[in-house]
Chains A and B, each alone.
Chain A
Amino acid sequence: MKRLSIIAIHMLVSVLLLMPVLCFWGCTPEDSDRIDIAQALSETRGTDCFDRVMSPRPLTFPEDAGPHDTFRTEWWYYTGNLTTDTGRHFGYQLTFFRQALSCDPVTGTSQWRTRQLYLAHFAITDTRNRQFHSFSRMNRQSLNIAGTRSDPFTVWLDDWQVQQIDTTGSNLVMEAAASDISLSFTLVQTKPPIFQGDRGFSPKGPGKGNASYYYSLPRLLTHGTIAIGEDRFQVEGHSWFDHEWSTTVLGEDIQGWDWFSAHMEDGRDLMVCRIRKADGTPNGFGFGSISLSDGTYVILSETDMTLTPESFWKSPDTGIRYPLRWRIQIPDHDLDLHVTPVIDHQEHTHAFAYWEGAMRFTGNNVQGLGYLEMTGY
């Protein structure tokens, strides 16, 4: 899983979703205290009628690649590390969230009526220039301004999009542009999906329904162009993709999580995550997976791994202190990795601040590049 779940969902998405609604249309920062957002949000209607993730079920494609509108929240998440042929490194993130406003059926005749909202984040990390470019967009699903299709798989919001270009679904194109930053990639699936948890049923807490359906495409061969201002860079590398949906994924008393993914040079791909309670301790439902070079994979649980923050960085923008350097130990797989950011400042400071950025993974006998996401700090 990942990402932005709880708070992601409950705060990030919702705050972003509802903020313009709350300050109706065109909020200025001074207006944001006009209304208690969390309070307004807690009164979102009709959550009872959403489907919940209660038990494992077989995930099938292409159907499950598309949207699951009967669940409250869903995301399609791409992150990757790329380099030019001269070795210049870039990280990127393009993520799409779907949030349902209500589970009641839409009434009215206008095609603008909808209960689905989409939020997307797009970021480029320019390692050499130590620059981090981050953009956010949000819109309703109406009139195909935003949406998802399962066959051929497409997810888009405005002109940011990922689209399947073959019949098998293993070749995709990705386009996103904002300001004078853009990317245009082709992604090729090189390993079969990892069905996280129990065949894609990924518990996140002890409560009933505190789970999500979750699968990953661990290694997408990625090549294309990144443009920053007038400069264009031909790049190549690997991307990680997650698709996850749920309704009440996180229980109460959850503060946030730390999620890591890495493409190791020996062909293994790693994902680990811990979920933190309000007191900062793990809730015991940490999860992960290791995908081997032949595409087979092993599911990890919290007891298989140790995640230790080693040093902190304080954001000059938000004042939030994030643990940016980590040690990840997975003894059963002989992994003892030191994780460091390619640059420190990879914090998204939109309506909800979180840190997500490109990382270097250095181990006893292996190294790789990946991503780290931290929320709730």
Chain B
Amino acid sequence: MVSPVLIRISLRHNRRHLLRTLLLIFGIAMGVAGVVAIDIAKTSVEKSFDLSTTALVSRSTHQILGADLDIPQAVFTMIRTRLGIHESAPVISRHVTIPELEDRVFTLMGVDPFSETHFRTLPLGSENRDLSAVMTGSSGVFIARTHAETFGLEIGSPLTIALGDRQITVTLAGFLEGRDTRSNLVLEGLMVTDISVAQEILDMKDNITRIDLILSSQDTAADIQAHLENGMFLVETDQQNLAVRSLSRSFENSLTAFSMLALFMGIFLIYNTVSFSVSRRHRLHAILRALGTTRNDVFFTVMAEVMLYAVIGAVCGVVLGIVMGTAAVQAVTATVSEMYFTLTVGQTQISGGTLAKGLVAGVGTSLIAGLFPALAAAGTRPVSLMHQSVSEHRSQRMIPGLFLLGLIILTAAGLLMRAGHDHAGYDFSGLFMIFFGTALLTPLIIRMLVRVLLAAGSRVLGIMIKMALRNITRSLRQTSVLMASLMVVTSVYIGIGVMTGSFRQSIVQWVDDHIGGHVHVSSADERNPSLDPALVEKISRLPEVAAVSAYNIHPVFSRAAGKVHLFSYQSNQSKNRWSWTAAPEPALGALLENGWIFVSEIFARQHQVTPEQGAAVVLETRQGPISFQIAGIFRDFFMGGGRVVMSRETMARYWGHDDITAMQLFLENEVSVTPVINTIKQMLPPGSLIRLRSGTDIKQSILAVFDNTFVITSALQVLTAIVALTGILNAVMALLLERTREIGILRACGTLPGQVRRLLIHECFFYGLLSGIMAIPLGIALSWILIHVINQRTFGWTYDMILSPGILVQALVLSSAAALAAGIFPALAAGRTRISQALHME
């Protein structure tokens, strides 16, 4: 048990340095807040996915799906009457937008009420009457009562379902109303109706989306599979959900890793602050030891102090994290919805587990960070009371050893990242190791850099500057930690800056390559997206049009990704940038004609396609599973489960689609876009659901989506920077304020207050400058890792690193400015140092 007297002594000490104490708490709080916020965002995505998807397949163990994303309804009759599988339910399911309900996206679910008992609980409110009408002829739908109340809808109110630009009017037949919060949440994302109504709304002819099944034995599953015609297959519901869910998993993991990065920065900060705080109290500890305080007492006093701030910081962090997390949920679910799968229910989930995780992370890392300083404090020998520089001497001797250890850690990090684990956690562990390893290199590098500077500038540099530089190497034990922190922060700034810059530029390039047409013509009718061939022909022949890309896009089922998009071009002006090709580019076209396919990087990753000769992938087609040889893997930023490009013949043969769903027009030089759009508009029949957009328009909207994707990453980057800068501010203040005695001596020797101020300011500038210089190679390495390792594994896409000198200059300015800013207050204070006070111990 620690003596209360010792605790009080510590606290009193900290009260005198309130600003630094507050900064310490703030830093811990920010670190914890990041972890909590991201965890909230992640668990909310998890919950929203569950409510939007899993809850709707609820008790089914298997599903029958079709290659073309629907199946003939006769399969259901076969399942019931021939195979006698009673626990089976036909389902029609599709996302639709409801303009009256603020354009919310709902899952339109058509179900057979008589088959549902075993599967879903979709309870109706008590005022639902005349229900049989929905089955016999009306177009009635049911939505959650909460929506109806919010938007003032009553039974009988008309509702519009938008499928692209096609609008279908239905009637509100009643309300869905659950008994508990969870079931009500599930219902919020739903528009339920009888399967007949859904089939008519979606114009599905004699098809349905899927059949849900509860199967108790593998024999039954095999029996069903044997009875299914080509193009239909049985999948296990859980596995299917996992496949879809896995699409965004890496993205979410990367967010966690980023939040851990923020906390990691927090460790630096805590270590810095506590160790400064301890070394500042070196005298105090030596006196206490001389007075008979045991090592344990000193150790636990320091740890208790750290614990106190850790707990306060962690609690504040949790609160802050909840606020930030609630905001992050929006951004993260929006990204997941846009990039991976539609979430119809947005749910902010704040679990006890998340809060506990934040608290444990904050307190745990603080204690670990405090451990070494506390041990050092406990190791204070009473005799060292007058020998402050003993430990500094010892540290200086350790520098080569640290350098070696740093190299070893860097090598280990390289090996870990090369191992190619799929989990972002491994990559980020590698990244931490790189930071740590590089930090261990810094003392030696700093010493060398200072020597170089002094040697190079021996004639030019003034005495104050030389003193400032020597001061840096003199107390390397402390300055190197500070500068390593600043270096890491700056490198993170460079890394993320280069990554996002390169990414954006690649997107622009990709958009230009693939969707660079001046005018885009596509069907806005999701029910029937085919363009009239006569219209295609007519538009292609317009005199203003120089070239045309005409293609068809069809979503199809994939076991590994849930849904992928097939492309086939009738005429193609787009350019692929290849990650890998089986043959030189001119020969690829011939391979395509021979039935080979091109796949996007995301597709390749999701389907575990390796870039090698003879690689093949099995796709579910109307003719059953067919193995396709892969001619090339192209870079692609198309969303979802990836895409496959094939010849028209291949698409027609295996999926039965040979239509045109979209075209891009490349105009003759100096023809402006708007008149062409107007000309085409006049060619359209009245009421036609054709969407005409300019290339610029499309490009902007695509870039907006991708920018959104990086909002959360950038926010975490900022958070990381705030945490680290807080630490640096704290450390610089501690470092400079600690030198009262030294400054006293300087002043006693005749140094003017202004000269002292300049000395300290110079020191700070060099902290920043040297850190910035060291950060440049690390930052470039970091951006390479982010782009080629982490991003590729997280999002599945590759792009080239584009290094601009601007970002490097910015980084230098950032680190110097941050260190200078941190030094201003201590420098001013140092200038006011009273000699007698500073030296009264002498």
Contact = CB atoms under 8 A, between A and B. Distances in A.
B579 interface: no
A84 to B, nearest CB: 25
Sort A-B residue pairs by CB-CB distance and give the 8 closest, nearest first.
A25-B116, A159-B84, A112-B196, A107-B137, A101-B132, A110-B196, A26-B116, A110-B199
Contacts of A111: 73, 196, 206
A33 B178 CA distance: 12
Q: Most A CB atoms within 10 A — which of B84, B136, B197?
A: B136
Interface in A16-36: 18, 20-28, 30-31, 34-36
A34 B125 contact: yes
Contact of A34 (B76, B84, B124): B124
B136 A115 contact: yes
Interface stretch (B106-114, B493-501, B731-739): B106-114
Which interface class (under 10, 10 to 19, 20 to 34, 35 or more) fits B? 35 or more
Given A18-B132, A30-B179, A112 B124 contact: no
Contact of A144 (B81, B124, B129): B81
A40 interface: yes
Given A20-B114, A34-B177, A110 B200 contact: yes
Interface residues of A, number: 47
B460 to A, nearest CB: 84
A113 B194 CA distance: 9
B176 A45 contact: no
Contacts of B139: 108
Given A22-B128, A34-B124, 10 more contacts: A18-B132, A23-B124, A25-B117, A26-B117, A43-B130, A44-B130, A45-B133, A113-B136, A145-B77, A159-B83
Contact of A158 (B86, B122, B206): B86
B123 A104 contact: no
B129 A108 contact: no
A156 B539 CA distance: 56
Interface string A78-112: 00000000000000000000000110101111111
Nearest to B117: A26
B504 interface: no
Given A30-B179, A140-B112, A177 B123 contact: no
12 contacts: A20-B113, A20-B117, A22-B128, A24-B111, A44-B132, A101-B132, A101-B135, A101-B136, A104-B137, A112-B194, A114-B136, A145-B76
B393 interface: no
Contacts of A21: 113, 131-132, 135
A178 B122 contact: no
B80 interface: yes
Contacts of B135: 21, 101, 112-115, 140
Nearest to B193: A24
A142 interface: yes
Given A18-B131, A30-B179, A45-B130, A25 B113 contact: yes
Contacts of B125: 34-35
A137 B86 CA distance: 8
Interface of B: 73-74, 76-77, 80-84, 86, 111-126, 128-133, 135-137, 139, 142, 176-177, 179, 192, 194-197, 199-200, 206
B175 to A, nearest CB: 10
A22 B117 contact: no
A348 B713 CA distance: 61
A28 B121 contact: yes
Given A24-B113, A27-B117, A34-B126, A145 B137 contact: no
Majority SS at the chain A contact face: loop
A21 B193 CA distance: 10
Given A25-B192, A107-B136, A108-B196, A143 B73 contact: yes
A225 to B, nearest CB: 16
Given A18-B132, A158-B84, A108 B111 contact: no
B196 to A, nearest CB: 4
A139 interface: yes
Contacts of B137: 104, 106-108, 113
A159 B136 CA distance: 24
Contacts, number: 148
Contacts of A40: 128-129, 131
B80 A158 contact: yes
A107 B194 CA distance: 14
Contacts of A25: 111-113, 116-117, 119-120, 122, 192
Nearest to B58: A26
Interface string A266-305: 0000000000000000000000000000000000000000
B319 to A, nearest CB: 38
B182 to A, nearest CB: 13
Given A31-B123, A143-B74, A145-B76, A102 B192 contact: no
Contacts of B136: 101-102, 104, 106-107, 113-115
Given A24-B113, A142-B196, A35 B124 contact: yes
A137 to B, nearest CB: 7
Contacts of A337: none
Given A24-B176, A27-B117, A34-B177, A102 B133 contact: yes
A20 B112 CA distance: 10
A106 B120 CA distance: 27
A159 B82 contact: yes
A237 B507 CA distance: 79
B121 A27 contact: yes
A44 B134 CA distance: 12
B123 to A, nearest CB: 5
A124 interface: no
B80 A139 contact: yes
A11 interface: no
A258 to B, nearest CB: 30
Contacts of A101: 132, 135-136
Contacts of A145: 76-77, 80-81
A111 B207 CA distance: 10
A115 B196 CA distance: 12
A18 B206 CA distance: 25
A21 B173 CA distance: 12
A181 interface: no
Contacts of A30: 179
B80 A159 contact: yes
Contacts of B118: 26
Nearest to A105: B137
A48 to B, nearest CB: 15
Contacts of A109: 200
Contacts of B122: 23-26
B123 A112 contact: no
Contact of B114 (A110, A140, A143): A140
Contacts of B179: 30-31
Contacts of B80: 139, 145, 158-159
Contact of B126 (A35, A107, A140, A159): A35
B142 A24 contact: yes
A235 interface: no
B142 A139 contact: no
A176 to B, nearest CB: 9
Interface string A120-155: 000000000000000001111011110000000000
A112 B111 contact: no
Contacts of A211: none
A359 interface: no
A225 B660 CA distance: 58
Contacts of A142: 196
Contacts of A26: 116-122
Contacts of B142: 24
A156 B113 contact: no
A217 interface: no
A31 B121 contact: yes
Given A24-B123, A112-B73, A45 B83 contact: no
A36 B126 contact: yes
A42 to B, nearest CB: 10
Contacts of A138: 114
Contacts of B177: 34
